[in-house]
Amino acid sequence: MAFAPTAFTLSCHSSSPARRVEAVSGRITPDGDGLRLRWRIDGAQELVVPAFAGKGRADNLWQTTCFELFIGHDGREGYSEFNLSPSERWAAYDFTARRVGMCERPMPHEPTCTMRVGESMAIFDACVPLAGLPEWPWLCGVSAVIEERDGQRSYWALEHFGAAPDFHDPACFTLALAAPQRP
């Protein structure tokens, strides 16, 4: 599988400003039989990193630092959501429409999640198995919930619409990824 690595830059929703986090950016790249996602958090001095919990599905990961990928399709209401945590817990859901018809999405094996935290920057990497992802082409929403030590949560996405953050808004799915070219 081959497609060009795709960079992204997220913006913080104005209703929930970050205290110390300055920027969240990253890239999506092919990785063998997986899709690698990397988020870089600049200004991570006060970042809350969920404690290691071991691999496994878990709900409500977004209640602390969590990284998310939404995959939709142009002209269709349904979409998939992937929540990836530094704790190594993860979740995958399918929806028939915006926040409607949620069910667990089957995965052939668990995504891998790793986090490295430095003095002022953190890197979160995840690799999601391609066989667990929807059919191509994709309109993606990439997002992050960032919690800082004082309990402040900021909500980062490619685009924001509305007075409150809503990563499920299909208007936020602005990153187009075409089907990869097979060698």
Interval 29-55: pLDDT, tens: 988 889 999 999 999 999 999 999 999
pLDDT at 112 over 80: yes
Does domain 6-148 fall into CATH 1.10.10.10?
A: no
Separation CA 2–CA 30 (nearest Å): 7
Separation CA 26–CA 15 (nearest Å): 23
What share of the chain in percent tops pLDDT 90? 87
pTM, rounded to two decimals: 0.95
Count other C-beta atoms under 10 Å from residue 108's C-beta. Answer: 9
What's the pLDDT score for residue 1? Answer: 45
What's the pLDDT score for residue 2? Answer: 54
Separation CA 91–CA 83 (nearest Å): 5
Return mean pLDDT, the chain: 94
What share of the chain in percent tops pLDDT 70? 96
pLDDT at 114 over 70: yes
159 phi, psi to nearest 5 deg:
-145, 150
pLDDT at 145 over 90: yes
pLDDT at 14 over 60: yes
